[in-house]
Amino acid sequence: MPWFLALVGLAIPLVGSDFAVGLVVSGWLVVLALLWLVGRHLLPPDRTTKAAVAVALFPVLYMLAWWGGWWLMPADLVWLVLVLLARPGDERSGDTRRSVALVRAG
């Protein structure tokens, strides 16, 4: 869900500006692709690390707000909430499918 929200957060300003922010959105898509690769292969799957990364992204996105950082803040917030709502012993606490199932079951 956070990845979908990030893409929607980029698509709305892109379409709303008649593709005037296409270069900025393209840059954010590259950054998101790199974050996805790094997150899948280098981050340990524990919940504390994922929560720390999500919290650390807030000031980075805030500092980059002029270049579209605001567009990704809702996705970061949802990711943090899903990580925090996952069971502490769950190795896949950052996996949104599992986390959404936990929220629905809770």
Higher pLDDT, 74 or 87: 74
> For 28-42, how does the pLDDT look when each residue is reduced to its tens digit (9 = 90+)?
999 999 988 988 888
Higher pLDDT, 82 or 94: 82
Higher pLDDT, 102 or 51: 51
Q: Quick one: pLDDT band at residue 89, thresholds 50, 70, 90?
A: low
Q: Tell me, letter by letter, the H, E, C secondary structure of the chain.
A: CHHHHHHHHHHHHHHHCCCCCHHHHHHHHHHHHHHHHHHHHCCCCCHHHHHHHHHHHHHHHHHCHHHCHHHHHHHHHHHHHHHHHCCCCCCCCCCHHHHHHHHHHC
